[in-house]
Amino acid sequence: MSRIGRLPVVIPTDVQVDLDGSLVHIKGPKGELKREFSQVISIAFENGQIAVTRSSDAANVRALHGMTRALIQNMVTGVSQGFTKVLEIDGVGYRAEMDGKNLKLFVGYSHPVVVEPLEGISFDVDTKTRQVKIMGYNRETVGQVAADVRKIRPPEPYHGKGIHYLGEKIRRKAGKAGKGKK
């Protein structure tokens, strides 16, 4: 048995679950998510918990077992608490600000880069620490938007300037080694 797959998903009191075969619909205070899962995995809701079981021990079914349970857990966590990714902006003159709901980045280009939030995504900017928070109830969307914002100006290895995740270790390179030699 999968160590992750056999754990039940505990449902908080403010979250509603609707199962229709392999379609799972979860609604909570932050939003609602719907997802279709494979038919070889059975999903049951009882006593305030969701149990995920598999039909056989084939390798592909075993792989789906833990993944299905993890996706359901992420759905429940997202609609009840939400997810957050934090990006840091490093560089002289680099900054971010809010323009209504949009994120406006000044990161060394001749023009500001405006990022419009997708549905269920919101931005928050702390100008003192130059941090951008990306918040939402769908974990996949939050991660993708964070990756897209980081891609606007990825950190460069010589000075470390750019947009990077909070706590991300930037691999640094030495500059020119042959300075002053003839």
> What pLDDT does residue 133 have?
97
Cα angle 147, 125, 117; round to 5: 50
Rounded Cα–Cα distance for residues 83 and 164 (Å): 18
Burial of 132 (0-12, 13-18, 19+ CB in 10 A): buried
* 8 A C-beta contact, residue 33 and residue 26: yes
Q: Identify the pLDDT of residue 6.
A: 87
**pLDDT of amino acid 182:** 55
Please report the pLDDT score of residue 181 as a whole number.
Answer: 53
pLDDT of residue 180: 53
Alpha helices in the chain, H assignment, sequence order: 59-80, 139-152
Residue 171 carries which DSSP code?
P
CA angle, 138 then 5 then 39, to 5°: 80
Quick count: other Cβ atoms within 10 Å of Cβ 96?
23
pLDDT at res. 179: 60
Burial of 86 (0-12, 13-18, 19+ CB in 10 A): middle
Asked whether the CA dihedral 47, 51, 55, 57 is positive or negative, the reply is negative
Question: Which segments of the chain have a pLDDT < 70?
Answer: 1-2, 178-182
Question: Is residue 26 a contact partner of residue 10, using CB atoms and an 8 Å limit?
Answer: no
pLDDT at 1: 53
Separation between Cα atoms, residue 35 and residue 22, nearest integer Å: 8
Q: Which amino acid appears at position 80 of this protein?
A: S
Give this prediction's pTM: 0.88
Q: First and final CA of the chain: distance in angstroms?
A: 67
The backbone region for 79, taken as left when phi is positive above 0, alpha when psi lies in -120 to 50, beta otherwise, is: alpha
